[in-house]
Structure 1
């Protein structure tokens, strides 16, 4: 019940304040030369711009655009209230005030259009201080109990792959026997016959080489032909 009464009292206060502000704006507009329905339209325009800017602040958050037009509408409303409090002669309104009142419709139209069709720039929130993320708890590598697992077998060394056996190096082929002239063979036969006649045994290769005075290869070739 108390909350309901408190809400009603707030609404009544808002209605009274709105009615007084509406009347002051009407009187100021009429004194500035805006007679008839135009004098009644001025307070509606000022209050609607004030409400639109406040709604923009409530829905989209703080922005320079919304605060700018909210302050413009608030100054217009408060200025009318102060001007009609006896500080201004409504019978002789200065020219600058007549100019402001006459320019208000265009100003209010521009403000309402901007509030309705522009995104506005919000005041950015200060960045939150960055704190380093805690390092994750890493469990140490579990160690197996030696008594549980027993003696682990020694690692078997991998056998190196067997290298292929080296191919046998072919033995150098024997040098071909040098050609022996037939005359030399005949002379060797005589020397061999003479040696057999004196010693009674066939002549050997070393003796034949010494008697003929030829190289070892040639002596071997001659001995092969005498055999």
Structure 2
């Protein structure tokens, strides 16, 4: 079933701001059609960003559309893992609620927690490998709260390589979420996406997925980060 976007359907906006509505329709077209990225992934990225901004209705609508476009449960659930690390418990649980509404009881499973030991120096080596140098924030964590550094390492690894999404798509989901928050850290995950094989067109589409939740500024911030980090 096709659901009309509420902004596009708003009579006041159609009358008073026809150019705005026409422009937004084109942004939606980029998200809703397969191009550099498949539409179901772009809807997932948008749903995740909506959860970070506190828009549960939008998150549910976009996730339902992703499911209708063929996104399977395990790939959809990957966003909850990524939000757990990148935007915390509230955003992750908002996504969990949307996941249950869209995928039903299959989205709810019982599982025991699995303790994972981190060897001495393992977290530091991982940070150096990924970032190329030790970020001051993580160096301070290793220095002052070593168990916090281990926790950071485990959550970061779970986000980037522990889901059903490919590493490139996990990085791109983070790009959308960070662009929606106008975060300079978007450039870090753009570089991670490039290393994992993502194209500039894929990165651009991931940034555009943030526009419905954060407006045109999401593209400005994201494009600036793209230019800063683009090889060559």
Alignment TM class, shorter chain as reference: under 0.3
Larger fraction in helix: 2
Q: So what's the TM-score if we normalise by structure 2? A: 0.19
Q: So what's the TM-score if we normalise by structure 1? A: 0.19
Q: Which has the higher contact order (CA 8 A, sep 6+)?
A: 2
Rg larger for: 1
